[in-house]
Structure 1
Amino acid sequence: MTIAGTDSGGGAGIAADLRTFAACGVHGCLAVCAVTVQNSVGVTGVHTIPPATVAAQITSVASDIGLDAAKTGMLAGTEIIEAVAEACDANGIGAGGRTPLVVDPVAASMHGDQLLADSALDAFRDLLFPRATIVTPNLDEVRLLIGLDVHDRAAQYEAAKALHGLGPRYVLVKGGHLAEDVEGCVDLLYDGDSFTELPGPRFDTGNTHGGGDSMAASIASGLARGMSAPEAVAFGKRYIVEAVRHSYPLGQGHGPVSPLWTVRPWWEARPTV
């Protein structure tokens, strides 16, 4: 399940999550937290869903279909974060439950601007991080959450330690915004005892819209398929490298990363019936 907001341009948010779930071989369910007015250039409007309705969507699916993993994206505000935390507890999602929870703390725009009020950042730290199996902040979100500017690998390690102190089982500090890594992109996984670096290529493209959503969704897909957290993160890293490699231009702004590299062109084959 993805618990997040919509993107009317189809590049990020729930659209990206559901495309990723399908590409990774799992069925996707959703709980909509906000509807955005958005295209490739930016967001011009946000309509939030009542918190009780967000929670009811989670419970409705969990009580019937069941959930093998869940991930959060744009949660829009403090009251929705509180409702999501309560719904997770009620339905066995996250710490203490059978369903792993990936928390992507969407708190900054592509340009690093803060998207959430300080009270909502507090709610992420106090309510969702202790319930999370894995948290997946980018470096702008690290700065907003713990006040640390990461400009080198040593600071990336310090950030992982500080974030782990907020309660998640695993922390994945993504390195895509680390401009000093001009030739590569290293994500850093920390479990409280050991670190694992996950290196990957850095592509010369501005078409990375939805990259964070897609990586978190691919990690959740791996967990849903029964992988351990480190295995799911490695699975997600392999997925997002190819999604960025195959990203494409769209509109006048930033195009999306693409799940389409996983799709066999069945329409080119001769029909068998």
Structure 2
Amino acid sequence: MAIESEDLRNFVAVVEAGSLSAAAEILGQTTSGVSRALTRLEQKLATSLLTRTTRRMDLTEEGLAFLLQARSILGALDQAEESMRLRTQKPVGKLRVDAAAPFLLHCIVPHVGAFRAAYPGIELELTTNDRFIDLVEQRTDIAIRIGELQDSTLHAKSLSTARMNVVASPSYLAAHGVPQDVEALDAHTLLGFSQPDSLNMWPLLHAGGDRYPARAAVRASSGETIRQLALHGQGIACLSDFMSQADIAEGRLVRLLAQADSGYRQKISAVYYRNTQLARRISCFLDFLHERL
């Protein structure tokens, strides 16, 4: 005979309550009904789970082993039930999302309308920072981070990866020429990041390896600022695909040195603290964003 979840709940209740009568009161059943259910379970298992006397009950060795399994199974069932219950409910409340300005503008803002239509009960609060922030200090629920993640106590979800494009505007190239190889970049005006300096290691194959150390004549803290400088003909930049692909497609920027691309892809991740009250809002947003990236 198959063991049912009700069998497990009755057994665990008896053990935790300490007596048949106390378990019966908790379960809303009669003492005799709980006793019969326990006997049926032992018959199904062909073993004794409890030794019963007029004064006390003790778990047998088999009963102790079965108790651990029963609790694990019931916990999994409760978790599955809660998960399904949450899936049928529309999440509500505020969700604070932080990202670097370029990612926010190019990858989140275009989809806000669709997200709000799908989840009208979630109030989005969007902030921008070009540096990694403390989520608790900044009262942020999710932070989108570009590049390698540092070890931390935060939970992380990989969202996508992005190719890096070396680009310049047609006006800059008309005035200064098109670099034919990586070494030719040394003679050009390069646009880079003020920090971290790792962002100025461009993923290009050359005689010195697979990362070209760009010596920037103009630096900025924001990728969007660098993009605008490139669009205005101020030099050559290395920008993530998500913020440069539209400019390349429409001719505002020209991709350079594609033959020297090392194949490096910039990681895009979301980090957050696991919070049961926020879990549904966080998972809705991250699943939605992951589909679109």
On whether the aligned pair clears a TM of 0.5, the verdict is: no
Task: Say which structure is richer in helix.
Answer: 2
Q: Which has the larger radius of gyration?
A: 2
TM-score, scaled to structure 2 = 0.24
TM-score, scaled to structure 1 = 0.26
